[in-house]
Structure 1
Amino acid sequence: MLLPDYIAAHLDKPFEYGRLDCVLFVANWIKHKTGIDYLDGLPHWASERRALRIVKDMGGLEVAMDGRFERIHPNLAQDGHIALRRGGLMLFSGPHIVGPGLEQLEFVDRMEAECAWCF
């Protein structure tokens, strides 16, 4: 599956903790591309409160990502690389970063990426 197909498969799906949240959206893409499950060993979450507790226990999302992936400047990110924006994870795709929104995937200008990682 290519990135456009992955994005298309999630276009109309709303954000839901433990099913389609920003971490799972990105982690499932990476697992598809690499075969590695970077969430292996982490407890499951089904609520915002539980998700925030897990992230806090890891030192924050940015720290957790730094421990698993190579940080790069957002200007060097390629399609499929990981972005951090406003505390949530997204994927780079062309001129956008893409991630789960309340009602469907959100497409935001890639210049809004605060950090980026490759794998």
Structure 2
Amino acid sequence: MTAHPRLPDWQPRLGAYLGQLQGRPFRYGRLDCMLFTVGAVVAMTGHDYGRGLRGYRSRAEGLRKIKPLGFSSHVELAASWWPEISPSEARPGDVLELEGLSMGICQGPMAYAVGTQGLTVVPRSLSLRAFRI
């Protein structure tokens, strides 16, 4: 597992990415919790961890895409990409697993996540796991 470093201008890049998502609906294979997180990491590091994983139309189809890679969930896949840390050590820009197997991006006491209504902000206290970016 070799994490790619954040770019020097990662904060405005992440802000621009989040701004682009305002009002966009949740869609498996386009804007779901995993691809939201991957997109945020692309904005921060320039590296696309999700290459080859997009385009599915349901949760089951997405899980079938990662099963041949040896993973049964998108969180397991994330754990293979980024070093795991305690949720209490997460800092802005780190990836969080949130209750319900959704993923988000840490932003202080809150986290950005994508739910059925699109981009949302949730309490960081929902964090189950965290990964350093």
- Secondary structure class of the residue paired with 1:52: helix
Which residues of 2 match residues 1-119 of structure 1 at below 5 A? 1-42=12-53, 44-57=55-68, 58-85=71-98, 86-119=100-133
Q: Aligned-pair distance for 1:43?
A: 6.0
Size of the aligned set, in residue pairs, is 119
Question: Sequence identity of aligned pairs in percent?
Answer: 28
Contact 2:24–2:118 (CA under 8 A) maintained in structure 1: yes
Instruction: Name the TM-score, length of structure 1 as normaliser.
Output: 0.86
State the SS of the aligned residue for 2:20. helix
Taking the aligned partners of 1:42 and 1:8, their CA distance within structure 2 comes to 23
Give unpaired runs (5+ residues) of structure 2: 1-11
Cα distance change on mapping 1:72 and 1:16 into 2, 3 Å:
same
Segments of 5+ residues of structure 1 without an aligned counterpart are none
**Bigger Cα displacement from structure 2, 87-96 vs 37-46:** 37-46
Shift of 1:47: 2.2
Q: TM-score, normalised by structure 2?
A: 0.78
The question of whether the paired residues in 2 share the 8 Å contact of 1:3 and 1:79 is answered with: no
Deviates more, 1:91-100 or 1:7-16: 7-16
